[in-house]
Every structure is written in C-alpha cells, then in structure tokens.
Amino acid sequence: MVSTVLYTLVFVKIVHLNKNTEMRTKEVRIFVYEYKTLSELPDEDQKLVNAAREAAKSAYAPYSGFSVGAAIKLASGKIVKGNNQENAAFPTGLCAERVALFYANATYPKVSVKTIAVTASNHEGIVEGPVRPCGSCRQALSEAEFRFNQPIKVILDGKEKIQVLDGIDSLLPLAFKPESLD
Ligand SMILES: [Zn+2]
C-alpha cells in the first residue's frame, strides 16, 4: 500500500512599484510527494534509485566523504549514471547530477531526459534526509527540460523518506530560462 504524503510549499513574491501602484502578489505552489520507503515507489523508479545508489559507490569524494550518485532515465529507457567528482582545487569538481546529465546529453543528444534519481551517502550510509541538488544542478536540469520540452521527474533519496517532484519548476521556481535572454 502506497502511503504518499503531499506537501504544499508556498512562495510569495511581493512587488512594490511605487506609492501609486497597487501591490501585486504572485503565489507559486510546488508539490512534493513523499514516501517512507523505497518499496512504495513504482518498480521503474525503484530501479532508478538503486542505480543511483550503485553509482554513489564509485564517487570520487575523498575531501567531503559525501558520495553522491545520480541516475537518469532517458525516454528511450536507457539509464545513465553519474557521481560526484571532487578535486583538491574545489571548484574544479562536479556534482553527480551534472556528471550524469552532461554525459547523457553528450552521448544521446536527441533523447529527452525522463527522470533523475539522486542519492547520497556518508560514512554512516545513505543520508537521512532526501538529498537536494545544488542551485547549479537545478539550473542545468531546467535547461534540459527546455531543450526537450519535456518535464523531468525528480526522485530525491533518503534513509528516512524519499521525495518525488513532478518537474524542475518544483526545484527552481521563477528560474532563469532561455526566454530570460529576450
Ligand atoms: Zn550540484
């Protein structure tokens, strides 16, 4: 039996233009679907999380000890994996999500990304709370959605709960998008 808890987070943007202009409020809602255990997820999502957990085992994280794994399922059904690659010169490294995403886009440039699962482990095993992508990875994933005009489902793994999002807009509301360049 699936026990999904639905959370609604609300962001409010308030714009004060000037004294003579009515204040405008914009509400942006995101939905986070939460599961207690991996077995509650559909089989294909379980498989993707397990692929991410497998990828985390090969992470190069000697400095942080925080091994991140990402697994991407393409529209073709192909699963592509990545993990964090750290460097003594810290900014030189790259997150697991972008390692997987850029590899997928470089190798299968015409195939859209359907789902990404992300997990992380430290010396005690899988981290308790769901791991959350950094801002740069959110931006890269947002571009991948635009590139293929296809929402990317996000699965954030954790020992105590697993969270699922419908798309990158839920990770990065009010994102900088290609139309922002106009
Ligand atoms: Zn990142």
Distance (Å, rounded) from C-alpha 44 to C-alpha 140?
Answer: 24
Domain membership of residue 157 (yes or no) is yes
Q: What is the reported pLDDT for 7?
A: 56
Q: What distance in angstroms lies between residue 178's CA and the mean position of ligand 1's atoms?
A: 20
User: Catalytic residue numbers?
Assistant: 97
Q: What's the sign of the alpha-carbon dihedral 58, 63, 65, 71?
A: negative
Task: Say if 13 falls within a structural domain.
Answer: no
Q: Which residues of the chain have pLDDT under 50?
A: 1-3
How many structural domains does the chain have? 1
Supply the CATH number for residue 98's domain.
3.40.140.10
Residue-wise pLDDT tens digits, 1-32: 444 555 555 555 555 566 677 778 888 899 99
Which pLDDT does position 121 carry in this prediction?
98
Distance 95 CA to ligand 1 centre (A): 4
Classify residue 23: in a domain, yes or no: no
